[in-house]
Amino acid sequence: MITIRLISPADAEELAVLVRANREHLAPWDPERSEEFYTTAGQWQIISDTLRQGNALPHAIVEAGRIVGRVNLSNVVHGPFQSANLGYWVAAAAAGRGVASAAVAAVAEQAFTTYGLHRLEAGTLLHNVRSQRVLERNGFQRFGMAPRYLRIAGDWQDHYLYQLLAENWLAARGGAA
């Protein structure tokens, strides 16, 4: 059973162990990271800064009581926009088993029912077919390609852009649009 929950600074040590153990697995999909990122202090600082800024909702992906990844809503904007960016990663041991798909489904439900958002946007590297499948399984639709969108693994890389609207999410679950 996969669940998500908001991250707290108390998760820093467990996350540091997880990112260290998955450093090579995540490197092709991540920005370049400082050595501090892989420490408990570094994770604590990242979590604390994110929570203090107030425009993100960072979640832990939990399986059998252990954190196995993260699913995050960032750049959360309220008012007429009601939107956020979605990002996620799972540990190598959790990959390919539906963990990311379940976590994205859970955070989409939270985004639309609890947080009152209207739209989620996510980007994937052009060659990251597994991540594209996660999004598509959850009803996201590709709407474009952003050249040199993010600096990943040391290079500015193109990304496909996907979105999910609240009414499409609701309609896919049999609710009224």
**pTM, rounded to two decimals:** 0.95
Identify the CATH number of the domain in which residue 35 sits: 3.40.630.30
Q: Rounded to whole angstroms, how far apart are CA atoms 82 and 177? A: 17
- What is the domain range of residue 22? 2-172
SS3 of 90, please? strand
Nearest one of 71, 121, 77, 124 to 101, comparing CA atoms: 71
- Kind and range of the H or E run holding 7: none
Q: Rounded to whole angstroms, how far apart are CA atoms 45 and 34? A: 13
pLDDT category at 62 given cuts 50, 70, 90 is very high
Alpha carbon of 3 to those of 137, 138, 165: distances in Å? 17, 16, 22
Q: Rounded to whole angstroms, how far apart are CA atoms 165 and 135? A: 13
Q: Is residue 138 part of a domain?
A: yes
CB atoms near residue 154 (< 10 Å): 9
pLDDT category at 17 given cuts 50, 70, 90 is very high
pLDDT category at 162 given cuts 50, 70, 90 is very high
Whether residue 1 has pLDDT greater than 90:
yes
Q: What percent of the chain has pLDDT over 90?
A: 96
Q: What is the mean pLDDT of residues 1-23?
A: 97
Q: How confident is the model at residue 176, as a pLDDT?
A: 57
Q: Tell me: the pLDDT tens digits for 68-111?
A: 999 999 999 999 999 999 999 999 999 999 999 999 999 999 99
Q: Is residue 80 part of a domain?
A: yes
Q: How confident is the model at residue 173, as a pLDDT?
A: 84
Q: Is residue 177 part of a domain?
A: no
Place of tokens 């799972």: 90
Q: Tell me: the pLDDT tens digits for 111-161?
A: 999 999 999 999 999 999 999 999 999 999 999 999 999 999 999 999 999
Task: Work out how many domains the chain is built from and give that number.
Answer: 1
Q: Is residue 127 part of a domain?
A: yes
